[in-house]
Amino acid sequence: MDFFKSSRVLNLLAVLCGGVLFVWPALWNGYPLLYSDTHVFITQPTPGHFNWDKPFIYGPWMLPFHAWQSLWGVVLVQGILLSQLIWLTQQAVRPASAVRHLLICFAVSLLTGASWFVSLVMPDIFSGMVVLSIFVLGFSTKLSRAMTVWISLVGALAISVHLSHLVIAAASLLVVLMLKWRRLLYALIPLVLALAALVGTTIYAFNKVAVSPFGSVFMLARMSADGNVKSILEKYCPEKSWHLCAWTERLAQDSDSFMWDANGPVWSHPGGPIGLAPEASEIVALTVRHRPLPVLWSAIQNTATQLWMVKLGDTVNSDWLDLTVAKSIEKFFTPAELERYNQSRQVQGTMLERVSFVSATGAVAVVIGFLWSINLLLQAWRRRDWTVLALIMMVWIGLLANAFATGALSKPHYRYQTRIAWLLVLPPLVLLARNKKSDSTMQSRSA
């Protein structure tokens, strides 16, 4: 009994220490990494602050961990959650050990972009957690009832913090359906909870029963940039009174310009994006109906482009931080926190020039991880090891779903794919040097 207790303590310490390993970029920066949108999540918990384009989830979630004192608590918790999911992932595939777990966390944090997204005060790191939580619920044979509830909650959080995660979750569930359908109901719980949270907060904020009440505006921007909207406007504007008709001959060639230019079609609308949304829904539906093949081809091209964009790039720049995050920290946090923010490498502008090597290393690591996983997939197929097969397939499908949800439905950005590409190195690391005894044991459990 004493040995059992000490083993549990050792395992817990391994998970905690593994989480700390993932925040080294923040430690090196001297402060958690920030993005211009971070200020939105800082201000979300304040009274009456609702964003039309972001779920009302991540900001309230991180409030207890910063308590208007310091953002360090947010990145530490993100690291611990990721460390726990990696522990449970390896436990589903092979007997887990504290030393092996720390080595895996060290390798993932050093060789990939995972640590940079753990250290970033944004919901991006949860993209990979969606895949891992559904894998654990669908394929682990060692979860207690309490742990099943906990991972269901973590998975629900991971899915609900970003709308693109709904697509990743749905794709991951397909793997459970194909390889272990008896566990599908367990794996479905996070998605059901996430949908309930998204619909509930939308009702509360906008009095609308919807998951994404204004998402059509993003789709309109994407289709316009792809060149699929102009012909629809030319055909229907003589009989419609759409706001966008005035923009038929000057539609932006870039979806970000379409969306965020203060003088563009979205923000020149009297009601802004919220007012444009009903019109956008109508135009998007007509575009899909009349131009299905061009829309499909554009989606394939954008997905393919997004799939290969693995570089830190826009993750660590300081663009717009002085006008967004700095104002929020100054308003809501202590003067000491603002000073720590101002002294960070990111704000000082000395970080970008030093991360090119990290980006190159991460790109090489994910390519090697992918190629290695092909061999592991073939081995798992020959052994009929459905758990290993599921892990690799779920990682691949998760990456593809992420590329579609971000590239095809929004716009390809380096940040979007890099936030989840690190998953490719996980199966090789988890399966490294797995002995034959472990293989036979796990294979029998999978069967």
Residue 5 confidence (pLDDT) above 70 = no
Q: What is the pLDDT of residue 142?
A: 83
User: What's the Rg (C-alpha) of the chain?
Assistant: 23
Query: Which pLDDT band holds residue 331 (cuts at 50, 70, 90)?
Result: very high
- Are the C-beta atoms of 28 and 116 separated by less than 8 Å? no
User: Please, which residues have CB within 8 angstroms of residue 93's CB and are 6 or more apart in sequence?
Assistant: 387, 388, 391, 430, 431, 434, 442
Using the predicted structure, report yes or no on whether residue 440 has a pLDDT greater than 80: no
Give residue 16's pLDDT: 94
Region 38-50: mean pLDDT is 90
Q: Residue 215: pLDDT band by 50, 70, 90 thresholds? A: confident
Q: Which residue has the higher pLDDT, 353 or 322?
A: 322
Calculate the average pLDDT of the chain.
Answer: 90
Take residue 171 and report the two structure tokens written for it.
């794709």
The half-sphere exposure of 277 on its side-chain side, counting CA atoms within 13 A, is: 14
Instruction: Give dist(CA 300, CA 302) in Å, integer.
Output: 6
Task: Identify the pLDDT of residue 64.
Answer: 96
Q: Which helix (H) or strand (E) holds 402?
A: helix 386-403
pLDDT digits (tens, 9 = 90+) for 370-423: 999 999 999 989 999 999 999 999 999 999 999 999 998 888 888 899 999 999
How is residue 120 annotated by DSSP? B
- Amino acid 434: pLDDT: 60
Find the farthest-apart pair of alpha carbons in the chain and give their distance in angstroms, rounded: 81
Query: Tens of pLDDT along 154-184?
Result: 999 999 999 999 999 999 999 999 999 899 9
Per the CB < 8 A criterion, the answer to whether 16 and 87 are in contact is no
Q: Does the pLDDT value for residue 216 go beyond 60?
A: yes
Can you tell me the distance from the alpha carbon of 227 to that of 148, in angstroms, rounded to the nearest whole number?
A: 46
pLDDT attached to residue 141: 85
Burial class (CB in 10 A: 0-12, 13-18, 19+), 173: buried
Q: How far apart are CA 101 and CA 91, in angstroms?
A: 10
Mean pLDDT for the stretch of residues 272-296: 93
